Amino acid sequence: ELLVGLATCGIAAGGREIYEELESLISDMHLSNVDLVKVGCIGSCYCEPTVQVNIPGHAPIYYGYVDLETAGRILNEHVLQGKILKDKVVPMTFNRTDPSGAKKKQYRIALKNCGNIDPERITEYIAFDGYEALAKVLTEMTPLDVIHVLKESGLRGRGGGGFPTGLKWQATNQQKNPQKYMICNADEGDPGAYMDRSLLEGDPHSVLEGLIIGGYATGANQGIIYIRAEYPLAIARLNTALDQARDYGFLGKNILGSGFDFDIEIRLGAGAFVCGEETALIHSVEGKRGEPTKKPPYPSEEGYLHKPTTVNNVETLANVPEIINKGAEWFASIGTRNSKGTKVFALVGKVKNVGLVEVPMGTTLREIIYEIGGGITDDKAFKAVQTGGPSGGVISVDYLDTPIEYESLRSLGTMMGSGGMIVMDEDNCMVDIAKFYLKFTMDESCGKCTPCRIGTKRLYELLDSITKGTASPNVLEQLDMLGNNIRNSALCGLGQTAPNPVLSTMKYFEEEYRMHVEEKT
Ligand code: SF4
């Protein structure tokens, strides 16, 4: 079996050409016993195109940076003669046969099938226990049983907020209105983040299964996946998965003969960052401007079309089938006291092994960046890492041994966010970094409230004056005061967190700011 990585990262690096070359060689050589499989991203985006060779009785061998010549050699030398091309093998940063991560730092729950199955064949998902959790839920559990398991597991929202998923489901379940909705938020928009896209491209059925189970638990009969239109491959694979799920009786009327009806439709977003906020997302799904509104009322009381609605992130839902299959106790045994399970991160920037990683909560930044990520590009000095995207902040070298969990990151002035992790080295200017993120939130502000609409512009102008050498001597005090004012008075999370990159870079790199001001004024 040859697995070719054909997620967006693999395709961009030339994976399709490698697949076609292998397909034609297999046909020319009449190798009818070789199964060529398209898979999603295995996580090692830095060495795409990738080909994994699985020969029964042998450990999988993983090739990276595969070109057309190497593709031919993989067939001729490895598959036919059993000779491994040692110069082309790249180490897996996780261990499929030892998911506890004793040897490797990663532990795959949400990503367990990504890079391992063909996302366009439901039979492969089923072969890896797919839809077993749904069958169990519909035949053995009441909606309240499901909610109980989710609460006991400790699963918290992976979109950034970290709200307990079981409590969210319970809040919708308790509503009397017979019409309820379940929405999957796939409006991933942080710069550098692509966890949700990759998950949907590599294993769409796990998200569908989580969404259907959520519908059963909350009492919803209609699911909606809100996904940005810039994700064409994820959308295509979702559509294929939806058709197959209907054909197999996992979606639609009377699912698996249980009497439970649930169907899912896809709604495309135009790529506004603010539509990741659940009230703005709901407005966008309703066809209105994607503007946030004040909470309460919460979507669980009054959401889509004023009906009780649950909004869950892609990664959150992908965890659900495994929790049902393996139990709350199993999930709660992974991670830390307050942050259970694992988290997927997009490890990007100045790091050698750029890609997706999934680690138990409590893993340190140092382990992620140096042991999984291979260290800093060109062996330069680590300077900082940005977590939480434009809503988060930077963490300096002094905190590399901080265990990653919701609370620890918050105490450092940043946040988990949806999982973007951008590594910076000694060459990065922290004022430029703050400017970059602030420009992003300024452009993405929906303009509804003044602190965000005007405040982010003024904040940006102050940063700009520093980089242009025209800043007033008290510019740091102005940045601090304005940043805190925006944080305290903006209407939604986008505005409230927009000053974070500025305030956190000032907190850890004040000297660098002062040098800029003193040198240039
Ligand atoms: Fe819109 Fe910004 Fe106000 Fe949020 S904080 S409602 S994004 S203007």
**Residues 404/359, Cβ–Cβ less than 8 Å:** yes
Average pLDDT over residues 30-41: 94
Average pLDDT over residues 403-412: 91
Would you say residue 390 has pLDDT above 90? no
Nearest atom in ligand 1 to the alpha carbon of residue 453 is: 8
Question: Which of 446, 456, 459 has most ligand 1 atoms within 8 Å of CB, for mutation?
Answer: 446
Would you say residue 328 has pLDDT above 70? yes
Average pLDDT over residues 409-422: 88
Confirm or reject: Cβ of 326 under 6 Å from ligand 1. no
| pLDDT above 70: percentage of residues in the chain | 97
Confirm or reject: Cβ of 122 under 6 Å from ligand 1. no
ipTM of model over 0.95? yes
Q: How far is the CA of 447 from the centre of ligand 1 (A)?
A: 6
Residues 391 and 158: their CA atoms lie apart, in Å, by 14
Q: What is the DSSP string of 416-483?
A: -TTSEEEEEETT--HHHHHHHHHHHHHHH--S-SHHHHTHHHHHHHHHHHHHHT---TTHHHHHHHHH
Confirm or reject: Cβ of 450 under 6 Å from ligand 1. no
Average pLDDT over residues 347-364: 94
Would you say residue 228 has pLDDT above 70? yes
Residues 6+ apart with CB under 8 A from 448: 291, 292, 491
Structure confidence at residue 323 (pLDDT): 98
Confirm or reject: Cβ of 486 under 6 Å from ligand 1. no
Confirm or reject: Cβ of 497 under 6 Å from ligand 1. no
Structure confidence at residue 520 (pLDDT): 57
Confirm or reject: Cβ of 280 under 6 Å from ligand 1. no
Q: How far is the CA of 291 from the centre of ligand 1 (A)?
A: 7
**Residues 456/352, Cβ–Cβ less than 8 Å:** no
Would you say residue 444 has pLDDT above 70? yes
Would you say residue 521 has pLDDT above 70? no
Would you say residue 98 has pLDDT above 50? no
Average pLDDT over residues 254-275: 96
Nearest atom in ligand 1 to the alpha carbon of residue 292 is: 6
SS3 letters across 11-38: HHCCHHHHHHHHHHHHHHCCCCCCCEEE
Nearest atom in ligand 1 to the alpha carbon of residue 448 is: 8
Confirm or reject: Cβ of 146 under 6 Å from ligand 1. no
Domain ranges of the chain: 2-88, 122-331, 342-415, 430-520
Would you say residue 25 has pLDDT above 70? yes
Structure confidence at residue 448 (pLDDT): 95
Structure confidence at residue 386 (pLDDT): 94
Q: Taking all residues of the chain, what is their mean pLDDT, rounded to a whole number?
A: 94
Residues 358 and 96: their CA atoms lie apart, in Å, by 13
Residue nearest atom 1 in ligand 1 by C-alpha distance: 446
Average pLDDT over residues 174-188: 97
Tokens of 410: 């918050």
Would you say residue 95 has pLDDT above 60? no
Q: Give the residue among 168, 164, 165, 170 at the shortest CA–CA distance from 144.
A: 170
Structure confidence at residue 103 (pLDDT): 43
Second CATH level (architecture) for the domain 122-331: 3-Layer(aba) Sandwich (3.40)
SS3 letters across 175-205: CCCCCCEEEEEECCCCCCCCHHHHHHHHCHH
Would you say residue 202 has pLDDT above 80? yes
Structure confidence at residue 241 (pLDDT): 98
**Residues 51/4, Cβ–Cβ less than 8 Å:** yes
CATH 3.60.21.10 at 430-520, yes or no: no
Q: What angle do CA 252, 258, 259 make, to 5 degrees?
A: 65
Confirm or reject: Cβ of 452 under 6 Å from ligand 1. yes
- Largest Cα span, the chain: 75
Question: Which of 442, 449, 457, 460 has most ligand 1 atoms within 8 Å of CB, for mutation?
Answer: 449
Question: Which top CATH class is 342-415?
Answer: alpha beta
Give the residue, 319 or 416, on which the prediction is more confident. Answer: 319
Q: What is the pTM of this model?
A: 0.95
Structure confidence at residue 59 (pLDDT): 86
According to DSSP, the residues that pair with 351 across neighbouring strands are 376
Would you say residue 19 has pLDDT above 90? yes
Tokens 């309460």 locate to: 296
**Which CATH number does 2-88 carry?**
3.40.30.10
Would you say residue 337 has pLDDT above 50? yes
Average pLDDT over residues 416-436: 93
Average pLDDT over residues 501-519: 92
Q: How far is the CA of 138 from the centre of ligand 1 (A)?
A: 41
Q: How far is the CA of 442 from the centre of ligand 1 (A)?
A: 10
Residues 486 and 191: their CA atoms lie apart, in Å, by 22
Residues 6+ apart with CB under 8 A from 183: 223, 224, 225, 226, 278, 281, 282, 285, 303, 304, 309, 310, 311, 312
Would you say residue 97 has pLDDT above 60? no
Confirm or reject: Cβ of 446 under 6 Å from ligand 1. yes
Confirm or reject: Cβ of 490 under 6 Å from ligand 1. yes
